[in-house]
Structure 1
Amino acid sequence: MEVRMNHGAVQPEVLKKMLQLEQFMSECGLEKTLYELIKLRASQINGCAYCMDMHSRDLRKMGEPEERIYLLSVWRETPIYSDREKAVLALTEAVTLIAQDGLPNEIYEQVRVHFDEREFMNMIMAINVINSWNRIAISTRMFPGCF
């Protein structure tokens, strides 16, 4: 397998803007672990091996137990995620797959039980940022260890 292109070398301004979005997300107040769970779950849905590898490693470095990483794709079927995390994971799935059903009111209300409007918007932005990264990585055929 070969990478189609090094997107950062080909269009450094795009990479710069994406990194600025990442910087914003790291400073917006969203919990680091929650953001990494968003990143990993969206990457699983999108089938982005590069990002799945990166974010599972990041979660490990943050001290997340292996079972929480391994069981993320079946989060509904295990009690190891809090109701708060489950609300965020449901939101992540709905926004990542937005063309299927939009964002159902039930998920919006589930999230709002745990988060205020500002936090909700930060999570929407976080989901959009990782979906953009996934699309860049998949389109340029990035894979774990390619750089």
Structure 2
Amino acid sequence: MTATAPSTAPVNYLDFASSALPALENVEEWITRTPLNQAFVHLLKLRASQMNGCAHCVKMHTADARKAGESNERLDHLVVWRHVGSFTAAEKAALGWIEALTCVDSQADYGPLRRDLRAHYSDDEITALTIVAGMINLWNRIQMSNH
């Protein structure tokens, strides 16, 4: 086994950001108190993690989704959610929003996405969905930066 050179070794974020990480955990706790369906929140986090290629988070959110009662069919179909009937129109709107905020495109028109969201969610819920997107993308980047 080859030793990692000190200059390329992973950063121990717990050592350097010990006060920041609990604050991020507080945001995660806030998400659990929103009116969003928490089983579906795991699917949203899973989809962003799939897109970002964060193997650790994919494994974790797949297990969390199963524990919350998500079916294997919905887990299997998540990567092709647009093309299957496994998800409701509301869920598809939320998945589109998560994807748009995960793979940011400077040319994207977010208006139609917000219109689709507002057909199913309140502005409070859209705010929560946006925070879910921001948090999972942050966690993915923290985790992936140490691969």
Alignment length (residue pairs) = 141
TM-score (norm 1): 0.88
Matched, 1:121 2:130: no
Match of residue 145 from structure 2? 139
Misfit runs of 4+, over 4 Å: none
Unaligned runs of 5+ in 2: none
**Root mean square deviation of aligned Cα:** 1.8
Matched, 1:109 2:110: no
Preserved CA contact (<8 Å) 1:26 1:32: yes
Unaligned runs of 5+ in 1: 142-147
Match of residue 103 from structure 2? 97
Residue identity opposite 1:43 in structure 2: S
> How many Å separate the matches in 2 of 1:47 and 1:104?
24
Residue identity opposite 2:45 in structure 1: K
1:64-123 CA-partner distances (Å, limit 9, x unpaired): 111111210110111011111000000011111123443532111111100011111111
Match of residue 57 from structure 2? 51
Matched, 1:76 2:82: yes
Higher relative contact order (CA 8 A, sep 6+): 1
Answer with 1 or 2: which has the greater Rg: 2
Preserved CA contact (<8 Å) 2:48 2:99: yes
- Provide the identity percentage: 33
**Higher helix share goes to which structure?**
1
